[in-house]
Amino acid sequence: MTAEPLLKVTDLVKHFPVKRELLFDREIDQVRAVDGVSFEVRKGETLGLVGESGSGKSTLCRAVLQLTEPTSGSVRFEGREIAGLSRREMRPLRREMQMIFQDPYASLNPRKRIGQIVGEPLRLQGVARGSELRGQVRELLDRVGLSAEHYDRFPHEFSGGQRQRIGIARALALRPKLIFADEPVSALDVSIRAQIVNLLDDLQAEFGLTYVFVAHDIGVVRHVSDRIAVMHDGKIVEEGPADRVCEQPRDAYTKTLLAAVPIPDPHEARARRQTVGPG
Give residues in contact with other proteins (CB under 8 A): 52-53, 159-162, 189-195, 197-198, 201, 216-220, 222-223, 242-243, 246, 256-266, 268-269, 273, 278-279
Q: Which is nearer to other proteins, 130 or 279 (CB)?
A: 279
DSSP code of 262?
Answer: P
Q: What is the per-residue DSSP string for 115-168?
A: HHHHHHHHHHTTS--HHHHHHHHHHHHHHTT--GGGTT--GGGS-HHHHHHHHH
Give me the least distance between CB of 224 and other proteins, in Å please.
9
CB of 130 to other proteins, least distance (A): 33
* Closer residue to other proteins, CB minimum distance, 65 or 220: 220
Angle between helices 160-172 and 130-143 in degrees, nearest 10: 130
CA distance 242 to 150: 37
Quote the crossing angle between the two packed helices 190-207 and 160-172, to the nearest 10°: 20
Looking at beta carbons only, is 71 or 254 nearer to other proteins? 254
Give exposure, 85-113, as e/b (b: 16+ Cβ within 10 Å): beeeeeeebbbebbbbbbebbebbeeeeb
Closest CA to 32 of 14, 9, 50: 14
Q: Which CB atom, from 22 or from 190, has the smaller least distance to other proteins?
A: 190
CB of 240 to other proteins, least distance (A): 15
Which residue lies nearer to other proteins by CB, 123 or 153? 153
Q: Residue type at 237? A: V
Least Å distance between CB 243 and other proteins? 7
Least distance from C-beta 157 to other proteins, angstroms? 12
